[in-house]
Structure 1
Amino acid sequence: MPTPDFIREIRATAGHQLLWLPGVSTVVFDDRGRVLLGQRADNHEWALISGIPEPGEQPADCAVREVYEETGVHCVPERVVVVRAGKEVAYPNGDRCQFMDITFRCGAVGGEARVNDDESLDVGWFELDALPKMRDGIHFRIKQALAEEPTWFETTT
């Protein structure tokens, strides 16, 4: 995902120090129960659609915007399924960040899944029993989105 302009401005004065950043990810289901995934252009991995809220943007609004910008699919947020701090990430240029991810379960309400920007190589709907190879954390978030449970929070105690 390209670095938003507001983060570039912070980096201009903060240097490579660790930045704590908000993030949202989405588990979008269509009316057939398939999940929407994108193959990322940066690492070629299949993943949930995700992004960084702009300053002042509500996380749910960011989820809807990111899904449309990246896939052409219109969706509505239904509930928060996971809130979790990720591990620190170090980039090749020396920048360091850690994301606080809020994962939303969303329902598709229109549009057609397609590559809609330069952040994805491919976009598609997947049956739950035919998911592509993905990181374990993505499978966990899909599982939580399917469960009729309260929001999952990670604790260290």
Structure 2
Amino acid sequence: MPIPEFIVALREKVGHAPLWLSGVSVVIRDDDGRVLLTRRADNGQWAVVSGVLEPGEEPSAAAVREAKEETGVDAELIRITSVDVTEPITYPNGDVTQYLDVCFLARWTGGDAHVADDENLEVAWFAPSELPSDMTETSRLRLAKALLDKPEAWFLR
């Protein structure tokens, strides 16, 4: 999916200046315990499914939407696993963004995993013990927190 229209409108006013945005990530597991990752087109690294919330959108709805839009899979959210803030990110076009991210653990419920948008180059299932070495640092952290299987969400204390 291209840059959301509301961000395009903001960028017309602020240029490449830093934007503070709300985002979601979702760690999707299948019945065998594998996790679904995407290879991002913007940096070539593997990552958990993630995306920006549309204005007024609930984080849970955004997580389910992003899973379907990016990978073609249906997912049922189980719980929030972490809430954190990314470091500022500078995209190839010069835009600077920082995200408040709410990460969910989800269970795959259907659909064949495939590249379903232009944001990703590959989509694949990985055993937690066989994760790719070229994975984003934020995804490593989110996966580690999600796979602890603790009932409470992680947040900086």
State the TM-score, normalized to the length of structure 1.
Answer: 0.92
Measure how far apart 1:90 and its partner are: 2.7
1:7-156 aligned at under 5 Å gives the runs: 7-133=7-133, 134-149=135-150, 150-155=152-157
How far apart are the structure 2 equivalents of 1:31 and 1:98?
Answer: 34
The alignment covers a number of residue pairs equal to: 155
Contact 2:73 2:110 in 1 (8 A): yes
| Structure 2 unaligned regions, length at least 5 | none
Cα deviations across residues 66-87 of structure 1 (Å, max 9, x unaligned)? 1111111000111111100111
User: Secondary structure of the residue that 1:51 maps to in structure 2?
Assistant: strand
| C-alpha distance 118-91 of structure 1, shift in aligned 2 (>3 A) | closer
Superposed CA deviations along residues 14-44 of structure 1, whole A, max 9, x for unmatched, are 2332211001111000011000000111111
Query: Secondary structure at 2:28's aligned position in 1?
Result: strand
SS in 2 for 1:148: coil
Q: d(CA) in 2 for partners of 1:16 and 1:46? A: 25
Q: Name the amino acid aligned to 1:115.
A: V
Structure 1: stretches of 5+ with no match in the other structure = none
RMSD across aligned positions (CA):
1.5
**CA distances 1:41-60 after superposition (whole Å, capped 9, x unpaired):** 11111110110011111111
Percent identity of equivalent pairs: 47
Distance 1:67 1:148, change over 3 A: same
